[in-house]
Structures are given as structure tokens and as C-alpha cells.
Amino acid sequence: MPPGSLTYDGKLPRIFSPASGDGPDWPQIYVGIAMTTLATLILELSLARIIAVIFDIGFVPMGICVALFGLAGGGVLSCFVAAVRPDIYRRLGWLSAGIGLCSVLALLYLLTHAGPERLTFAALPFVLAGTVLSLAVSDTVGKIHQAYFFYLIGAAGGCLVLVPFLNTFGGPNTVIIAGALFAASSAVWFNLGNHSRGRAAGVALALVLVFLVVVNTRWRIVDVTYAKGRVLAGETFVKWNSFSRV
């Protein structure tokens, strides 16, 4: 035991613990976890909705399996990027920002390349999401009961807002919204890691993706271009809902 770690007052030795102000900011950590699970559920279910439109309803379980495979793979890979505080929060920030970008790239790839074998590319954002969640949960092992509560709160929130988002914004825009939420969560992680530039970058990325949603709602730049093996052309009216695309 290093010298100076114990003090003797004539009675019993005492080990001084660090001051409470030196500990992690638990509320921000819980917000980061909840936002990550919120965005992950929205991304997973909205991609499943798009897969049903592009291919067939029978491919939805395959899409869910791809997402679960990615999350599990991210949990395994998390051991390679683990770090101590505050570096762990900066890495979580970069990973979350990467998920925001990968979500949009996976959407574009899925909408422009025919064939269900292309679904494997959609696993990439889930690999990163699984890495983020595994690292965040391992960092909160001392308060895992509270961390898991917010983990479930975020997941439940994702299920609740999915239907209104699909009805209002459509499938592709809902995926982009999930990317914006990942970018916003990266700002939370960067703030925990005292990385001001990263925090600003996360906020900027989130705003760019929100702007993309606004533009895409008006001009449908990112949308389904083929379905059931046929190219879609000459559409005069398009409307998404929670179970189909009209």
C-alpha cells in the first residue's frame, strides 16, 4: 500500500476516499446512456420498416438479426477501445458521432443498392452502438441498477416515438433523426470528457442532420428508389405510416 494512504488517529486506520466533486457526473452519464438506447431503438425499428418496403415483410426478422448481431459484435469489440476517465468519455463521443454518420451512410447504401445481401452493411452503426453501450455500462458498474434503469427508459422512449415519427416524417427521415440523436449524445459524452471542440462538433453534426430532415421532407432527396425488385418512377403521392408506404 503506498505511503500516506492511511492516517492514524490513535484509534483505527482510515482510508480517505476522493472528494465527491472528483467523481463522475452521474446525471450526464445517465442522459448519454438513455439517448444512445433511444436512438438505437429508433434506428433499428425504422430500418426494419424500410426493409419491409424495399424487399418484403419476411425480411424484417433478418434485419432485426443483423442489428442484434451488430450490437453483440460491438460488445465484444468494446474491450479494444476501453480506457479510463476522462478518456473513455471522449472515445464514447467519437464513437457516437461516428454512429450518426454511419446511420445516414447505411440508409443511403440500403436505398441505392438492390439485393438483401446488402443488409450486412446496415450492421455497422449497430456495431458502434453496441460498443458505446458496453463501454458506458462497464463504466457505471458501481451504479449499474440506476444505469440500467435509464438504459430501459431510453429504449422504451424509442418504441413510443417510433410510430409518431414514421407517421410524421417517414422512414428515411426517421433514420436521419436517429443519427441526429446519436450526434447529440456525442456532445454529452464530449462534455463529460471536457472536450469542448468535440462537444461543438457533436452539436454541429446534430444540427446538420436536423437540417437534412427539413430539406428531405420538402424535396425527398433521400427516399426509396426501388421496391420488390422494381424501380419506382413517376410517383405523384407518397405517404409513410407505421406499417406501410403508400
Q: What is the domain-level CATH number for residue 49?
A: 1.20.1250
Q: Read off the pLDDT of each residue in 187-212 and give the average, rounded to a whole number.
A: 97
What is the DSSP secondary-structure string of 200-238? HHHHHHHHHHHHHHHHHHHH--S---EETTEE----S--
- Of 91-105, 128-142, 227-241, the one with minimum mean pLDDT is 227-241
Report the alpha-carbon distance of residue 158 to residue 180 in Å, rounded: 14
Please check whether residue 64 lies inside any domain of the structure.
yes
Please check whether residue 212 lies inside any domain of the structure.
yes
Report the alpha-carbon distance of residue 69 to residue 107 in Å, rounded: 18
Query: For residue 150, what is the enclosing H or E element?
Result: helix 144-169
Please check whether residue 15 lies inside any domain of the structure.
no
Please check whether residue 183 lies inside any domain of the structure.
yes
What are 142's three cell numbers? 458501481
| Average pLDDT along the chain | 88
Domain membership of residue 167 as a residue range: 24-231
Please check whether residue 244 lies inside any domain of the structure.
no
Please check whether residue 2 lies inside any domain of the structure.
no
Please check whether residue 237 lies inside any domain of the structure.
no
Count how many domains the chain has. Answer: 1
Residue 127 has pLDDT above 50, yes or no: yes
